[in-house]
Amino acid sequence: DALPISGNWRAPVHAHTADYRAVVIKGLWAHWQMQGGEATKVELPPGSYWTQKADEMHDDACLSDTECVILLINDTPYETYLPK
């Protein structure tokens, strides 16, 4: 599903119960794994993609001032959860 995200938005640290893949359709996105900290942040322009493994804590942000759109691709429905 294509997911529109407000500009300058940042998610809380979180994980998902299943793997997913994502593609940036619009805007400048950022994605990073928490075990490496924010230093591992990768800036992803439109056309970029990433894979996220289940149960790995990570963070995401729309770095654009305007809306970002990402396409989420998953084979299994999943839930999102925050660290304990």
Q: What is the CATH number of the domain that holds 38?
A: 2.60.120.10
- 84 in a structural domain: no
- 66 in a structural domain: yes
Convert the pLDDT of each residue in 29-77 to its tens digit.
999 987 766 667 889 999 999 999 999 999 999 999 999 999 999 999 9
Closest CA to 44 of 34, 30, 33: 30
Q: Read off the pTM.
A: 0.89
- 81 in a structural domain: no
Burial 1-39 (b: 16+ CB within 10 A, else e): eeeebeeeeeeeeebbeebbebbbebbbbbbbeeeeeee
- 37 in a structural domain: yes
- 82 in a structural domain: no
What's the DSSP call for residue 11?
P
Convert the pLDDT of each residue in 48-60 to its tens digit.
999 999 999 999 9
Query: What type of residue is 11?
Result: A
How many structural domains are present in the chain?
A: 1
- 83 in a structural domain: no
Whether residue 36 contacts residue 84, with contact meaning beta carbons closer than 8 Å, is answered with no
Domain of residue 9, residue span: 2-72
